Homo-oligomer: A and B are copies of this chain.
């Protein structure tokens, strides 16, 4: 009953190669079921892949993403590691704040670049008209 996906299904959906998906498994980020030799991915596996790719967009290494997954795993029990875990989380939160800030600044700068670009375009249009008018 549960929906399943082949490796190419997921590869197509998320625009990655099947090689990449196998690589994530090799690195311990995915562990799909098997049907014979073939990999069979559950909706949970699919989400997991989605998270990996989001992590990548944010500049996380695969190791970091794997570590984050462990934060969400029921297997986390170990109490002594809870403080370490909090530090990890805090570090990630700090990085994200920094990135957020970086993005806002860069968006402003790109807006300015766009304006200058449009300006330059409209002026080259004016020049064209001028040349036409003056018969050059």
Chain A residues within CB distance 8 Å of chain B: 54, 57-59, 71-72, 76, 79, 82-83, 85-86, 89-90, 92-93, 96, 98-100, 102-103, 105-107, 110-111, 113-114, 117-118, 120-121, 124
Contacts and interface: CB of A to CB of B under 8 A. Distances in A.
- Main DSSP-derived SS at the A contact region: helix
Contacts of A102: 54, 57-58
Contact of A59 (B57, B90, B117): B57
B124 A82 contact: yes
Contacts of A96: 103, 106-107, 110
Contact of A58 (B85, B103, B118): B103
Number of copies: 2
9 contacts: A82-B120, A82-B124, A85-B113, A85-B117, A86-B121, A90-B114, A93-B110, A93-B111, A99-B103
A77 to B, nearest CB: 8
A47 B118 CA distance: 25
A82 B121 contact: yes
A2 B48 CA distance: 53
A89 B104 CA distance: 15
Contacts of A86: 114, 117-118, 121
